[in-house]
Amino acid sequence: MGPVSSRSLGFGTAGFESRSVAVQSVREALDVGYRHLDTAQQYSHTAAIGEAIAESDVPREEIFIATKLHSKNLTHDAVLTETRSILDRLGLDTIDLLYVHWPAHTYDPEETFGAMGELVESGAVRHVGGCNFTADLLREAVSVSPVPLCANQIEMHPFLPQDDLLETCRAEGVDVVAHTPLAGGAVFGSDVLRDIATERDATVAQVVLAWLLARGAYPIPKATGDHIGENYAATALALTPEERARIDAIETERRVVDYEFAPWNR
């Protein structure tokens, strides 16, 4: 079991409307049972997330904290300096998982992962990974990185199951973290998902998150209020093989996060 898979469902921290909402939501997530927090350099309220971690009764060593470097900060020196800056903003000595947010702009496999390897060697970072890496880019990174890749964070949901990429990650021994697991809210319009949710007395979000977990992917939904606990309850929902097959058979195709510089568009 890898460092990500041992934490199961993670908690996304993008797009909180205010500092106070960020602090409150992260504290609630930790209280409910989440132990994997996903952050990024370009997300707002990073310092507030660090504050919530410090205020929580959950020991730091039980919390797996991931963050991502902006694609314009992936040269050797930028990786080192920007990671230190993130640590300062979070108020931490160590980041558990440092990602390349996008393999674009200043990204160079050997230079970028070489610098990330130095951070692992120094103890500032425990694990490294990629986000939005295609199968070819993942294999390239695995081959040149001086330290093992821990995870590939990719968009994954019933409208973008990423079967081939999931298999590649498994073959390379890389955990899959699923961002945008609810397809930007589009899953709530699916008749198949609504029917299963009704049959199981669950929410559509719980059904989707349980489906992802059953596939061996680890979703990181962002939530506030009651949805924080509702989503976490997906860890106790075991879908039947028939229910999973119904979800697998959904024919709708949709990618939510799709920038021009994304590797699949080049």
The dihedral through the CA atoms of 208, 24, 63, 233 has a sign that is: negative
CB atoms under 10 Å from CB of 166, counted, come to 19
**Region of residue 237 (left: phi > 0; alpha: psi -120 to 50; beta: else):** beta
What residues are annotated to the active site? Answer: 43
pLDDT digits (tens, 9 = 90+) for 136-176: 999 999 999 999 999 999 999 999 999 999 999 999 999 99
CATH of the domain at 50: 3.20.20.100
pLDDT for the residue numbered 8: 83
Decide: helix, strand or coil at residue 175: strand
Q: Which domain holds residue 129?
A: 5-265
- Tokens 């899953």 sit at which residue? 187
Q: How many structural domains is the chain composed of? A: 1
CB 175 within 8 A of CB 5: yes
pLDDT of 119 > 90? The answer is yes
pTM of the predicted structure, to 2 decimals: 0.96
By CB neighbour count within 10 A (0-12 exposed, 13-18 middle, 19+ buried), where does 89 fall?
A: middle
For residue 40, is pLDDT > 80? yes
User: Average pLDDT in the 222-245 region?
Assistant: 98
Helices 19-32 & 46-55 angle (0-180, nearest 10): 40
- Each residue's pLDDT tens digit, 48-65: 999 999 999 999 999 999
